[in-house]
Structure formats: structure tokens, C-alpha cells
Amino acid sequence: MDPLTHLLDGPRARRAFALRVVMAPKWSIDVQDQAPLTVIAMLSSGAWLVADSEQLELQPGDVALVRGPGPYIVTDDPLRIPDVIVHPGQLCSSPSGQDLQLSMKRGMRTWGNTAAGQTTMLIGTYETDAEVSSAVTAALPRVAVVPAHEIDPALVRFLEGEIASDAPGQGSTIDRLLDVLLVHTIRAWAKLHPHTARGWLAGGHDPLVAQALALFHESPADAWTLESLSHRLNVSRGTLASRFRSIVGEPPMTYLTNWRMLLASELLANPQLTTAQIAAEVGYGTPFALSSAFKRRFGLSPTGYRRRSYPRTEAEGNAVVP
């Protein structure tokens, strides 16, 4: 499955931070939360998004994706000095350090400088790399904005309703809706910017590269080599390697290794799977081979990564992972 399908195939958002923001003039928020990805859906009025000195105006109905971990500013005036800072963990303060957590809380998952401001937006933040496929974020620019007419407004309204709800199961529903909105936004952005897309997202515009990616995504456990892949696609190794690298940005086997590591990192969320089982799932013959490759990619063994990223699995699982 491709990265977008993979994103929806399991619990990706996993209690991502989501809320409704209500602001009245004059306001400016400096977001320094270091999150890998944030979704911003404008509901009413407009705002400016400033990232890496680029100023982008957001209109009602627009959806923006901001790729971290760098800071960015959301404001009603791009020249305004921020009066709120959002820190890692979604803690917020004034520039002088005053805690604003309680003073800006406006009810169920609603936050802002007033209870009934003219500017409203939905914010969905994927707070750790374990919550969003790194393959998805790597394919995006720093900021991707999709205009209102390209996204079904019913999806945004549905998400808004769930954010304001305290009904049973709403946490999981918010997670799934946020993932769906993310997927729809990425699709729309890629359609609008076919020559700007990067990585696997760009690969879809070249039939040969698209076929190679499909094989990797559908069968990551197969014993792929450049020779076997080129034979399967009936092209020379040189042609395949050159086309793949020029479009995706890395050699085919490097992409496959990174894809396997991504899959392994997410399979570690399942406390019932041992390292040996995960190794077999992603194309490594032994737990040692997987552990070596995994440590090169993440700087941690699979066991260390599991303990850091999925601490609850230690108590939930009966399997002992070597």
C-alpha cells in the first residue's frame, strides 16, 4: 500500500492534539511546538501564516499543512509581534513567560483570546513522529496550502463537530477524521502542484517509477534487488536507477530500506509482535539484521524505540521482544 493508504490503515493520529481556535483582533501566535506536522483549517474570517520568512494569506475554507519541526506564526497581521507562544507539549505562555493555559481556555477543546471572535480555525497537530508517517511529511513542502474549493467543506464541519463533542468515542473519531482530512489535503495539493511534489508523491507522475513504488509498497518483505526490480519492470538497471533517483530523490534500494524501517517502527506499536515477527514482515531474515538496520536509521534498537515511543506496550503486551 502507498504511504497515504498506509496512513489510514492503522491508528496514525493516536490522540493527536486537536482543538478549535477562536480569536478576536489583534492577535499573533508564535508556534514553537516542534511538531512534525500540523493541519490548519480556516473556518471563518482569515489569517496569515508566516514560516521561514514566507507570508501566506489563508481564507475561509482553506486548509494548510505545516511541516515541522521549525517554528511558524499564525496571525491577523504578518507585521504584528506575537503575543502568545506555543511550546512543546502544547503549553502556551506570553513572551514574558506568563502561563496562559487557563486564561485562554474557552470550553471543550476550544482555545483563544475570546469566546466569540470573528476568526475561527481548527488545528490538528501530530505531536511525535510515531503519530504520522515520515514518508508522508517528507513529500511535503514546508507549507502546503489548499484553497477552499478543493476540499469538501462537509469534512471540515464534521471534524469541527467532533472536536466540540464529549460523546463516547469522540477521541478516536477525531483521530480518524484528522487523518482523512490530511489525506484529502495532500491529494488536492499534489493535483494542484504536479511539478512541485517530492519523494514518493512525485513518483506517481512517471509510469516506471510509479510501478517500482507500487511493488515496494505492496510487497516490502520480498527480497528485492535492483536487478530483480529492473527485471520485473523489463528495463535496464541503469534506466531504473537514474529515473527513480531523479524523481524520488534517492536510489531505489535506499527508498526501500527507509520504507521498511518506517513500517517496522509502526509495527513496534503492537505489543504482541516480537522483533523476529516484525523482521519477517518487513523483509529481514533475522532479528539481528533488522536491529542493525533499525539502529542505523533511528539510533536505537527496536526494543529501545518501542520503550521510548510506545511506553504503554510494555504493560499491555504479553510478548517479550528481544
Contact 264, 276 (CB under 8 A): no
> Last residue of a domain, which of 171, 192, 213?
192
* DSSP character at residue 240: H
Give yes or no for residue 177 having a pLDDT over 60.
yes
Strand order in the sheet with 110-112: 110-112, 17-23, 119-126, 37-44, 63-67, 143-146
Q: Which residues are CB-contacts of 265 (< 8 A; sequence separation ≥ 6)?
A: 130, 294, 298, 305, 309
Render pLDDT for 246-263 as a digit per residue (tens, 0 to 9): 999 999 999 999 999 989
Q: Which residues are CB-contacts of 170 (< 8 A; sequence separation ≥ 6)?
A: 162
With 0-12 / 13-18 / 19 or more C-beta atoms within 10 angstroms meaning exposed / middle / buried, residue 203 is buried
* Shared domain check, 178 and 65: yes
Rg (CA), the chain: 21
The pLDDT-based confidence of 320 (bands split at 50, 70, 90) is very low
| CATH number of 259's domain | 1.10.10.60
Give yes or no for residue 318 having a pLDDT over 50.
no
- Alpha carbon distance 174, 180 (integer Å): 10
Please state the domain count of the chain.
Answer: 2
The pLDDT-based confidence of 63 (bands split at 50, 70, 90) is very high
What domain range is 164 assigned to? 3-192
* Shared domain check, 223 and 187: no
Give yes or no for residue 67 having a pLDDT over 60.
yes
pLDDT score of 321: 39
pLDDT exceeding 90 applies to what percent of the chain? 62
Lowest average pLDDT, out of 178-192, 210-224, 274-288, goes to 178-192
Q: Which amino acid is at 155?
A: L
| CATH number of 178's domain | 2.60.120.280
Give yes or no for residue 179 having a pLDDT over 50.
yes
Give yes or no for residue 14 having a pLDDT over 80.
no
* Shared domain check, 209 and 187: no
Span 169-186, mean pLDDT? 85
Give yes or no for residue 144 having a pLDDT over 70.
yes
Distances in Å between the Cα of 298 and the Cα atoms of 2, 258, 262, 293 are: 22, 10, 10, 9
* Shared domain check, 55 and 17: yes
Which cell numbers in the block locate residue 59? 481564507
* Shared domain check, 188 and 215: no
> Last residue of a domain, which of 127, 162, 192?
192
* Shared domain check, 246 and 135: no
Quick check: is 250 in a domain? yes
Quick check: is 322 in a domain? no
Concatenating the DSSP letter of every residue in 176-235 gives: HHHHHHHHHHHHHHHHH-TTT--HHHHHTTSHHHHHHHHHHHH-TTS---HHHHHHHHTS
* Shared domain check, 149 and 103: yes
pLDDT score of 272: 92
> Last residue of a domain, which of 160, 192, 224?
192
Q: Which residues are CB-contacts of 176 (< 8 A; sequence separation ≥ 6)?
A: 13
pLDDT exceeding 70 applies to what percent of the chain? 91
* Shared domain check, 252 and 138: no
Average pLDDT, the chain: 88
